[in-house]
Amino acid sequence: TAAMSEQQFKLVGTLQNETPLYLDGRAEWTGAVDTVPSTAALNFKGPLNALAFDATTDGFLMARADGDVDITDPALAFSANVDHGEKRLSPESELRIESGALNVSGSMKVVKIRYELRGNTGANEKLTLNVEGQASGLDAMDDGIDGSFDYRIGHPLLLESALEGRTVVALKNDRLTIENITEAPFASELEASLNPGDFDQQATAAISWNNFRVPGIPGADLVAQNGQLRFNGTPAAATVSLNSVWSHSEYGLARIDTSGILNEKKLSLSNGFAELLNGTIDFAGLVDWRQIPSANLTVDAKQIDVSVLRPELDARINLAAEARLDAPASGLQTSIALKQLTGTWLGQKLVA
């Protein structure tokens, strides 16, 4: 919640005793939001069954809105348009919202929503977002709320295509369920269930994907052919698991499976297994972010085919090692302690 201080509120207007009642007035607010001097003004005029309004904000967020509402309707029929200007989410963030337009219409029974956003993520990388959908049940929340939204996201990291999908949400008996499906540029499914009022309660989530091409790798293609990531638990203690198959244009197929225990401070990995480079790797360890991001891993690799990486090297190796990675602000630091090394190297037996 944005901090506010030195607030002032002013309301002036007239009320005409007609049928229905007729209002004509203006509300003004001045103050500060996150230390930024800000103002807001609302003008309203008309009968209660067709009360027109327009509003403006300045300072922390520059925006304008207009619409109308039927206050006499129990379902509160309304229509509103909101346009907002440039906004940087934080001084440190490279994401800058350049403009946005929101249209909302309907009633508390069924609300239709359309939103368009234009932004920039730094290095002149344009970001676009289009969302359109509807929500129902706001007039009888005890019976549950549900909604569905189609979206389209454009960004250079999406390889000059757009991420398109649909999200379906439902809130009933204090339980929020979310389903999300994408089809382009890759297929994915997300299912999640949680209590939005108490994040310490049990939550479950599972996301699966197919044919996701990882962007930003020059000279090669890395594709997540399929996979699934699962979460079950609370922020204090949850189990996570990953099963995935990858392909690389130069290094071939790889399968990575692992599971672990996750909390707010660390991730303990166990039962890690990978098939790659014509060999296998067992791994386990701890990822910790309490002070600086760090990881401690134990690795046991068997029959790794070095020629996959360097065709001129005829070698197969087995190794056991312990590795530590630290990521302070000064840069990544890595240390590896080799415990065992055997195999063959250019036709010679290798023992270390």
Confidence (pLDDT) at 84: 87
pLDDT of 1: 39
pLDDT digits (tens, 9 = 90+) for 45-73: 999 999 999 999 998 888 999 999 998 88
> Splitting the chain (352 residues) into consecutive groups of 10 residues, what average pLDDT does each group show?
67 89 95 88 95 92 92 89 79 78 92 93 81 88 86 76 88 89 85 81 90 74 91 90 93 94 92 95 93 93 94 94 91 92 90 74
- Give the model's pLDDT for residue 158: 64
pLDDT of residue 4: 47
Give pLDDT tens digits for 99-143: 999 999 999 889 999 999 998 877 677 889 999 999 998 877 677
Compute the half-sphere exposure of residue 132: CA atoms within 13 Å on the CB side of its CA: 3
pLDDT of 59 reads: 86
The confidence score (pLDDT) of residue 2 equals 47
pLDDT at 155: 77
pLDDT for the residue numbered 144: 84
The span from the CA of 247 to the CA of 227, in Å, is 12
